[in-house]
Chain A
């Protein structure tokens, strides 16, 4: 497709030949999409995500980012276009102030000081941490460390942001804040690919869902369509959100995804 920003062509990947992690994946990620990548433990989610910016290279097939084969471009070069946010923010935080942490990426791009300064300010502002620029990044809550990790990525001004379980370990308010941040990045034009186990978030935020099972994409579509595929989901060890399960038992189609949608439908059914 012409507007695809990342394209997987028959991508296979293995650490050991007898244990393929990804099998012949064909996938096109279009500019501006908000995609959730879901699936059970060991289904290949993180491996697939790490192919998007060349952190992993396919054993077979090819991944193209803006039309360029990821095997032929450095990760540093690719990270200007696609940035990867680790599941555990502590795996990427290592500077002594929050400001320095966020400046690290753009500094490595060889940008002018003023440009770096501007990017750091913008990125910290976007995640609501500008007042904490001079603080140490270690002694803050996990939610805040997660935001620092996102800011570090924003400072690279990537077109695509890949997030590996951005809400794991956060409390409910932390989850809502992180999702509001990701949604606002999406509205500003970033393409989002997020790995998550939280199906309520998938239902509420994602435009497209990829279900991975044993290294293959077994479902690909809008959440409403995907959450109705109960057999494929149960095979992939994915349980749709409570609202969808309840609506399915009532035989409601198209499937409501959120409580508000379900209430709207019930009002009609009950009157």
Chain B
């Protein structure tokens, strides 16, 4: 992808306290409009700090030492790991209205926008419900709706599914797929759920002790199996299986299978080729 990035960090370093070891070190990262970028790394590797910096909350709202340059060409919404920590409204409606009121929207605009974003996240009819009484997946969708209310071009999510059960996690990722497809949203998401990231992202970056160790298209990223495992990152079994079949001389390395469905298709192609070889062999005998 080319063109002006919608968001970029150039040579960015950050320490929470002057003189302490930097949590981010001389980091370069560019996002193009419409991209979905995954952020992986161990707990404590600096993922949350990176996302806060991309969102501009660091250095604006934090004391510490910032170096480098950040450029943003669009409005940004951010969603945290535990949605309850960001809820302030007693109802879903109030929760979403909050950011709009702060931006000076009229009552009529607020009403319309609430309806629009609730429809977008699939929670129509939830206006009067307490956000605290919802399921985990619904809570996180309310948090996403609040972030979307002010019509950001970029959505940043910090481990949005780590406290959710599989159903809640699937709801959140389905919504992210939809926001990409229908709203052309630029999305940055950190997660330990690498199977979901492999399915969702165009590109994935690896953070390790504040360094950006890898920044690659998703398939190439997950082919770095040795490095990722050394860094304590879970490489999905289907990616490892494809890699192993390639080593056995059974499959081409590309296109890499990232999901069970892709692995089944690759395996079927492989079997057809094997049958073809057998038939040719039989024929020539």
A96 contacts B by Cβ under 8 Å: no
Q: Please tell me if the beta carbons of A169 and B238 are within 8 angstroms of each other in the complex.
A: no
B195 contacts A by Cβ under 8 Å: yes
Residues of chain A from 8 to 45 with CB closer than 8 A to chain B in the complex: 40-41
CB A98 to nearest CB in B, in angstroms, measures 19
Note all chain B residues with C-beta closer than 8 A to A1. Answer: none
Could you mark each residue 194-206 of chain B with 1 if its beta carbon is under 8 Å from any beta carbon of chain A, else 0? 0100000000000
A239 contacts B by Cβ under 8 Å: yes
- With contacts A41-B165, A171-B43, A173-B42 taken as known, whether A259 is within 8 angstroms of B240 at the C-beta atoms is yes
B17 contacts A by Cβ under 8 Å: no
Q: Please tell me if the beta carbons of A174 and B43 are within 8 angstroms of each other in the complex.
A: yes
Residues of B within 8 A of A (CB): 42-44, 135-136, 162-163, 165-168, 192, 195, 232-234, 236-238, 240-241, 244-245, 248, 250, 260, 263-264, 267
CB B7 to nearest CB in A, in angstroms, measures 25
Note all chain B residues with C-beta closer than 8 A to A262. Answer: 241
A172 contacts B by Cβ under 8 Å: yes
Q: Can you spell out 7 A-B residue pairs with CB atoms less than 8 angstroms apart?
A: A143-B43, A171-B42, A171-B43, A172-B233, A172-B234, A173-B42, A250-B267
Note all chain A residues with C-beta closer than 8 A to B135. Answer: 41
Q: Please tell me if the beta carbons of B264 and A246 are within 8 angstroms of each other in the complex.
A: yes
**Bound Cα distance A193, B195 (Å):** 26
- Interface size of A by Cβ–Cβ distance < 8 Å? 29
Q: Please tell me if the beta carbons of B163 and A270 are within 8 angstroms of each other in the complex.
A: no
Chain A: which residue is nearest B170 at the CB level? A239
A142 contacts B by Cβ under 8 Å: yes
Note all chain B residues with C-beta closer than 8 A to A173. Answer: 42, 232
CB A80 to nearest CB in B, in angstroms, measures 32
Q: Please tell me if the beta carbons of B168 and A141 are within 8 angstroms of each other in the complex.
A: no
Note all chain B residues with C-beta closer than 8 A to A40. Answer: 165, 167
**Bound Cα distance A172, B232 (Å):** 6
A97 contacts B by Cβ under 8 Å: no
Q: Please tell me if the beta carbons of A242 and B260 are within 8 angstroms of each other in the complex.
A: yes
Could you mark each residue 158-173 of chain A with 1 if its beta carbon is under 8 Å from any beta carbon of chain B, else 0? 0000000000111111
**Bound Cα distance A172, B44 (Å):** 13
**Bound Cα distance A142, B192 (Å):** 14
Q: Please tell me if the beta carbons of A242 and B238 are within 8 angstroms of each other in the complex.
A: yes
Q: Please tell me if the beta carbons of A270 and B244 are within 8 angstroms of each other in the complex.
A: no
Q: Please tell me if the beta carbons of B241 and A171 are within 8 angstroms of each other in the complex.
A: no
A234 contacts B by Cβ under 8 Å: no
A126 contacts B by Cβ under 8 Å: no
**Bound Cα distance A141, B43 (Å):** 8
A74 contacts B by Cβ under 8 Å: no
Chain A: which residue is nearest B264 at the CB level? A249
Note all chain A residues with C-beta closer than 8 A to B267. Answer: 246, 250
Chain A: which residue is nearest B42 at the CB level? A171
**Bound Cα distance A131, B250 (Å):** 50
A237 contacts B by Cβ under 8 Å: yes
Chain A: which residue is nearest B248 at the CB level? A270
CB B245 to nearest CB in A, in angstroms, measures 8
Q: Please tell me if the beta carbons of A246 and B232 are within 8 angstroms of each other in the complex.
A: no
One of B167, B238, B240, B260 near A237 (C-beta < 8 A): B167
Chain B: which residue is nearest A41 at the CB level? B165
Chain B: which residue is nearest A40 at the CB level? B167
One of A171, A250, A263, A270 near B232 (C-beta < 8 A): A171
Chain B: which residue is nearest A267 at the CB level? B248
Note all chain B residues with C-beta closer than 8 A to A172. Answer: 42, 192, 232-234
**Bound Cα distance A65, B260 (Å):** 42
Q: Please tell me if the beta carbons of B237 and A242 are within 8 angstroms of each other in the complex.
A: yes
Q: Please tell me if the beta carbons of B43 and A259 are within 8 angstroms of each other in the complex.
A: no
**Bound Cα distance A238, B165 (Å):** 11
**Bound Cα distance A33, B240 (Å):** 31
Q: Please tell me if the beta carbons of B237 and A241 are within 8 angstroms of each other in the complex.
A: yes
One of B163, B168, B195 near A169 (C-beta < 8 A): B163
Nearest 4 interchain pairs by C-beta: A173-B232, A172-B234, A171-B43, A259-B237
